[in-house]
Amino acid sequence: MPNSFLTVEQLRISYDAQPSVVNNVSFALSEGELACLLGPSGCGKTTVLRALSGFQTPDAGRIRLDGKVLSTPDHVVPPEQRNVGMVFQDHALFPHLKIGDNVGFGLAKLKATERRDRVMEMLTLVGMQDYYDVYPHQLSGGQSQRVALARAIAPRPKLLLMDEPFSNLDTSLRENLGYEVRALLKRLGITAIMVTHDQHDAFALGDQIGVMQQGALMQWGTSFDLYHAPHSRFVAKFIGDGVFVSGEMVEDHTVITGFGELRGERVNQSLAGKKVDLLLRPDDVKYDPQSAIQARVIRKAFKGAQTLYTLLTSSNDTLLCLVPSHDDYEIDDIIGIRIDADHLVCFEQQVVGSEFLRR
């Protein structure tokens, strides 16, 4: 943390009507790292972004960027002096300015020829080099968002902030754009933070993802860790599909369930000797015609390459299982399954039977 490029330390923010909108949030980024703040509506993501951009004074805590203190409760470097770029959900292009002038807007300090070269370089990077003389209303949503990105990175900011940049775009476009933007920012070595409530946006862009709930940062980690090693029920439920099934943790690496004994690495605190709710993701349950564990299909959802089956075991546990869609089964068919969870995510038991985490 001391040598990080960006550090947010113990950030606390209240609004008049609402205390602790952001509550002791701390995280750090290396130069060139991409992070996402992910969480349900109202959890405080945008407020963190506002503090990073200099529009919000913290009640407590400190923000440092590249060795310089940008925000404390007593001193806030104004937004225009931070060298921080911003992209918003609604693109916010100036409607009366051509695309080239939109992208060149923050480059007033450059000579005219340098400015034009920089604008062309940025437009080329986002694949919009043929749109220099076009007005914003002539662009699609995806094109506008590319231009907004080009405008934000044109002044070569130290930090790029993006607030739900893909939320007005349709699903397939937003996923493609997410991976495209990631590749571009990585190529340019730009450090960035994106706020989103959509886990797929976060998976597409973030090296690190921070999951927020009611002002608190619940977990900070890679998408893989958040999905497979959530530290809390909230993160387990917020990220991905799955079920909780009841079991008993007989020792640190072993849980007995109604459909057999499962062994794996323990992820959370030790609950040896206790009744637990064990998290099983659809990809922890493997289709295996040879297996002795049999389960009945009670629901199927075709997903293209795979089908997501909801299964009921003879012990009355409900499981989710992803099966290549060529292996097609009908409701009430019996199929063989094998549990392949190399890590055991358990929480002290709250429910009896299975609980769904379907989103």
Q: List contacts with ligand ATP (CB under 6 A).
A: 15, 17-18, 21, 39, 41-47, 197
β-partners of residue 256 are 248, 261
Alpha-carbon span 310 to 298, nearest angstrom = 6
Measured distance CA(328)–CA(305) in Å, rounded: 11
Question: What is d(CA 101, CA 115) in angstroms, rounded to the nearest whole number?
Answer: 10
For ligand ATP, the closer of residues 13 and 99 by Cβ is 13
Shortest Å, Cβ 134 to ligand ATP = 31
* Token duo for residue 324: 């290549």
Closest CA to 74 of 61, 89, 88: 61
Give exposure, 56-84, as e/b (b: 16+ Cβ within 10 Å). bebeebbbbbeeeebbbeeebbeeeebeb
Q: What are phi and psi of 322, to 5 degrees?
A: -95, 125
Q: Which is nearer to ligand ATP, 23 or 313 (CB)?
A: 23
Of 216 and 312, nearer to ligand ATP (C-beta) is 216
Q: Which is nearer to ligand ATP, 46 or 246 (CB)?
A: 46
Would you say 215 or 247 has its CB closer to ligand ATP? 215
Smaller CB distance to ligand ATP: residue 38 or 255? Answer: 38
Which residues, in sequence order, are CB contacts of 325 under 8 Å at separation 6+? 302, 303, 304, 305, 306, 307
Least distance (Å) between residue 198 CB and ligand ATP: 10
Report the nearest approach of ligand ATP to the CB of residue 44 (Å).
4
